[in-house]
Amino acid sequence: MSRSLFDARWIMAPFYFGLVVALLLLLWVFLHELFEHLLRIASLGPVDAVLLALALIDLSLIANLLLIVILAGYENFVARIESGHERRPAWMGTVDFSGMKMKLMGSITAISAIALLRIFMKLEEGKPVDPEVLRWMAILHCVLLLSAVVLSVTDRLARLPGTHRDAPTQPPPPV
């Protein structure tokens, strides 16, 4: 029974391979966006160039997020990835579930900030922006920031000496 439950972790592998397919699709969108703007480079103004850069940064952050989930998730829940130490990123093997959550929240918050910045760039350019959309995006960004802070504080409190994770394990009392 224990062996079957332990081997069930391999059920997660197709999820991670599915995320690799999503990463490839994201690469396709990134290249499409870049190529489309390169075709009309002569007509790009400064604001358009900044908006393009923000869009590409946004896609890059999402790709980084996917990569963190794929690699750290696979290593944490399925099996260690053997790739040779010279090619292995420094963070691999050191990101536990808590660290992965913090990296995810940081990336999601950055993505939200970039989306909000893109709207402000449109406002600066004089393009109309629905005030309701702007309000909800700002509220969502603040909620994400607050969530990241709460997650960070609870993670730090859980790591304090004397908490259940750091407490020495006691042998069970004799029966």
- Please indicate, yes or no, if residue 163 is contained in any of the structural domains: no
pLDDT at 35: 92
In this predicted model, what pLDDT tens digit does every residue of 37-53 receive, in sequence order? 888 888 888 778 888 88
In this predicted model, what pLDDT tens digit does every residue of 80-138 receive, in sequence order? 777 666 666 666 666 677 777 787 888 888 888 888 888 888 887 778 888 898 899 89
pLDDT at 23: 96
Contact 117/54 with Cβ under 8 angstroms? yes
Domain hosting residue 118, numbered range: 9-80+92-158
Axis crossing angle, helix 131-158 with helix 97-125, rounded to the nearest 10: 160
Provide φ and ψ at 129, rounded to 5°.
-130, 130
- Please indicate, yes or no, if residue 144 is contained in any of the structural domains: yes
pLDDT at 92: 65
- Please indicate, yes or no, if residue 171 is contained in any of the structural domains: no
- Please indicate, yes or no, if residue 136 is contained in any of the structural domains: yes
pTM of the model: 0.67
Q: Is the pLDDT of residue 164 over 70?
A: no
- Please indicate, yes or no, if residue 42 is contained in any of the structural domains: yes
pLDDT at 134: 87
Q: Is the pLDDT of residue 168 over 70?
A: no
Q: What are the start-end ranges of the E strands in the chain?
A: none
pLDDT at 99: 75
Lowest mean pLDDT among 18-22, 24-28, 79-83: 79-83
* Rounded average pLDDT over 142-148: 91
- Please indicate, yes or no, if residue 147 is contained in any of the structural domains: yes
Q: Is the pLDDT of residue 173 over 80?
A: no
d(CA 119, CA 111): 13
In this predicted model, what pLDDT tens digit does every residue of 58-87 receive, in sequence order? 899 889 889 888 888 888 778 777 766 666
Give the total number of structural domains in the chain: 1
